[in-house]
Amino acid sequence: MFSAGKKLRELREQIGLTLRDVEVSSIALAQARGIEEFTINPSRLSDIETKGLVPSIYRLYTLSVIYRAAFTDLIKLYGVDLGDMVADLSIARPAKTHRINLAGQTGDVRMPVKLDPSFDPRTTVNLGRMIEHWGVVPLQYLHELSKRKYTYAYLGTADLTMYPILLPGSFVQVDESRNQVQEGQWRSEYERPIYFVETREGYVCCWCSMNPHKKGEIVLQSHPLSPVLPRILKHGSDAEVLGQVVGVAMRLGDWTALHAREKPQTPGSGGDEPKEDRRL
């Protein structure tokens, strides 16, 4: 907190204000708004700057106005980053379905502004690797895209591996720290972990298990209702688990159900079965 106070003092001195000047301006603000808490007397401001006293939200707002500094920047000095609010929503888990009213909040965040020209919407890709340039824009909900812990992927419109759990054209969030295949029994298909895997033919979201009959091989299991066949690949060289899917965003209204089953394909194969892959 002492470093925060030191920074506030630097801001005050940069624009040539004394403790008394701040008090006079704060009184004017308090009178204009009719809120006495906006007032900051010299002794209180001195304690904030030199003794680590944490200002109230009223006084911090007053300082942001007088110092011509963004309130979000000042509150960040005290360890409160409003840009992390969306990420921190997962800490509280209310029992009732509800609407998240954060759309009115703004702030500069990093988001992708230029994709690789080779991006093909029909193919499942790792969005992190397709982004050529990150820019700063006022869209708070995309703040998490710049975090290193997660990878974001786009499921190609031709990728039916996990249909109907994951629809083609969906966006998924992948936790890179969960890149070890879990073995076990699950009560339903929704509990079984879905992994984001990089193969020689491209990326795929699927269930995974280690081949019990041959060490060093991994089974890429598609959904039973999917027309995509399972595959067995060499773990590490032909297939690398990048992480576990922990979030998904997909549109339901635009999807047309698959009525006619096509010839089973593997993602990224274009209909041709890779010769080096062994089928289950």
Q: What is the DSSP string of 110-169?
A: EEEEEE-TT--TTS-EEHHHHEEEEEEES-GGGGGGG-TTEEEEE--TT--TTTTTS-TT
Does residue 103 lie within any of the structural domains? no
Number of domains in the chain: 2
Instruction: State whether 70 and 154 are in the same domain.
Output: no
For residue 60, what are the domain limits?
Answer: 2-80
Q: Are residues 66 and 151 in the same domain?
A: no
Q: Which residue has the tokens 């936790």?
A: 175
CA dihedral (157, 161, 163, 167) positive or negative: negative
The domain boundary residue, chosen from 32, 53, 80:
80
Let me know if residue 201 belongs to a domain.
yes
Within a domain: 138: no
Looking at residue 164, which CATH number applies to its domain? Answer: 2.10.109.10
pLDDT of the chain, 280 residues: tens digit per residue: 669 999 999 999 999 999 999 999 999 999 999 999 999 999 999 999 999 999 999 999 999 999 999 998 999 999 998 877 777 776 876 776 465 665 445 455 555 555 567 767 777 777 666 555 555 444 444 555 555 578 888 888 889 999 999 998 888 889 999 999 998 888 999 999 999 999 999 899 999 999 888 899 999 999 999 999 999 999 999 999 999 999 888 877 766 654 433 444 555 444 444 444 433 3
Q: Which helix (H) or strand (E) holds 278?
A: strand 278-279
Give a yes or no: residue 114 inside a domain. no
Are 27 and 154 part of one and the same domain? no
Q: Residue 195: which of 160, 217, 221 has the closest Cα? A: 221
Q: How big is the CA angle at 20 (ends 15 and 22), to the nearest 5 degrees?
A: 50
Q: Are 173 and 270 in the same domain?
A: yes
Of 172, 120, 122, residue with least CA distance to 150? 172
Is residue 118 assigned to a domain? no
Q: How many CB atoms lie within 10 A of CB 106?
A: 12
Is 131 among the domain residues?
Answer: no
| Residue 42 belongs to some domain of the structure | yes
Q: What is the pLDDT of residue 28?
A: 96
Asked whether residue 124 is domain-assigned, the answer is no
Last residue of a domain, one of 61, 80, 99: 80
Specify the CATH number for the domain of residue 54.
Answer: 1.10.260.40
pTM listed for this prediction: 0.52
Look at residue 169 in the predicted model and tell me its pLDDT. Answer: 85
The token duo for 62 is 């007053």
Question: 268 and 154: one domain?
Answer: yes
Measured torsion, CA atoms of residues 102, 11, 49, 33, in degrees rounded to the nearest 10: -50
